[in-house]
A and B are shown apart, each in its own frame.
Chain A
């Protein structure tokens, strides 16, 4: 079977070489880069605009954005027929192609986030190195940590007021510079689709903008959701430890202040702004297509209002956009409502990527036929694993695994230092 044949069902007239070539991993990639960009923008809201209630959320979002950044190239590695040649994009980039921007953009963005994290955690790195240096009997983990942290100091041990002030200034500058770069990281993904004139659904100048707004929505929602869940888990663990042991180590349940409702309210306001922009642009695109009714409109209409009606109007617009819009607009937001709203928003953002990528391949280039995507559920070879449900689940879980690892080096929750 040729690539794509096993999960494509063709109907009526489809060109012989047409299959659904861009499947679940190409849905995952813009989803992941959207989360990266959105989480970074959320973090920048504190560092650049000084919204002080977002301080803890900002630190968390930045580290999470860094974890997500490592996950972002993974769907591409799983999708490429030759992942080992993926480096060609860095070696001989053809800049007339939007995909060629990938190498440069992700490295630029990675450097900015890494640098910002370094400035943010520099004091912590130096104090850790100095305390480890004095420690007499180091475990293997301690020795490894010492080597790593020593390297991370980049040769400077200055923790004077002047130096720390420079750190703060650097963070602010990097966060400011990083916002347009983060927008570009996801905007270019929108450009990848929007510039393909051969695909009647993808081709629109609005695509990069829709993607950026949608990215903001998803990044903020995921950051909120993970933050809430993490704080609740820590409270639960602290409570259990309190009951189990008599000695207290680490913060008490009372010291773990939990989520401040105030933080939630402010963050969800920004979520709402991006959500409204995102919905408006997508509806604008749809209305324009229907109004201008160009050659592709007949087949597009049959896809949007027919075959994909449930995916688009019920899952994406209904559950993913309308219900969260109502939930976040109602006054006196609660944590429970925020959690549900964030989760539904993420479903909506995922469905948007799905409806663009898969939806764009639901109709044939001939405009006289259709293709149906049956995502492989149970893998029976490498390809059906990589481009199937289990490949998607692997990618989905990686940010949380990586975040847990990074948290060991750059601890996000500073209450533990005071414990």
Chain B
């Protein structure tokens, strides 16, 4: 009989250790099945790079929502040109109209938000001389035509033209 067998048979104190070894081996076997094959240490090393490599591609494939104004300019040429000739040229179309996503397929129509709240984001007068905010012409919404939509008088694409 080999020596190790004799040791186990004679000294019962070894038995709990054998049980523990079996548990450890079991965990390692489960690991082989459970952990994804591409899980490992990436280029960033062990501390900053332990991860499942496939996740990087998953994030790269995330759907893009905002398409940029180049998409808008062909079909919406009039408003596009108007906007580009006004101080509002610095604002992206999608800032006010929401993300294009797959427009004109889905959504068929983008949001036209005529609320005062949208304009007040920049045009609520805040007395902050040390910030770019002070450069923007602002109003006090309680004093300047309260309750009426801004777009009733101002064309959002060229706000100071043709004021009604």
Q: Footprint of B on A, CB under 8 Å?
A: 87, 90-92, 94, 96, 107, 111, 114-115, 118-119, 122, 154-156, 158, 163, 166-167, 169-170
Contact = CB atoms under 8 A, between A and B. Distances in A.
A87 B27 CA distance: 10
Contacts, number: 39
Contacts of B77: none
Given A87-B34, A111-B20, A94 B15 contact: no
Contact of B15 (A87, A90, A155): A155
B39 interface: yes
Given A91-B31, A92-B50, A96-B47, A166 B13 contact: yes
Nearest to A157: B12
A99 B129 CA distance: 49
Contacts of B50: 92, 94
A156 B11 CA distance: 10
Given A90-B27, A96-B47, A154 B35 contact: no
A412 to B, nearest CB: 20
Contacts of B30: 91
Interface in B1-52: 11-13, 15-17, 19-20, 23, 27, 30-31, 34-35, 39, 46-47, 50
Interface of A, secondary structure class, is helix
Contacts of A122: 12
A152 B19 CA distance: 11
11 contacts: A87-B34, A91-B35, A92-B35, A111-B16, A115-B17, A119-B13, A154-B19, A163-B12, A166-B13, A167-B13, A170-B13
Contacts of A169: 13
B34 A96 contact: no
B30 to A, nearest CB: 8
Given A96-B46, A111-B20, A91 B12 contact: no
A156 B35 contact: no
A158 B35 contact: no
Interface of B: 11-13, 15-17, 19-20, 23, 27, 30-31, 34-35, 39, 46-47, 50
A170 B11 CA distance: 11
B12 A158 contact: yes
A114 B47 contact: no
B13 to A, nearest CB: 5
A96 B48 CA distance: 9
A91 B13 contact: no
A91 B30 CA distance: 8
A114 B16 contact: yes
A166 B27 CA distance: 30
A111 B18 CA distance: 11
B11 A166 contact: yes
Contacts of A91: 30-31, 34-35
B46 to A, nearest CB: 7
Contacts of B15: 154-156
Given A118-B16, A119-B13, A158-B12, 12 more contacts: A90-B27, A92-B50, A94-B50, A107-B23, A111-B16, A114-B16, A119-B16, A154-B12, A154-B19, A166-B11, A166-B12, A170-B13
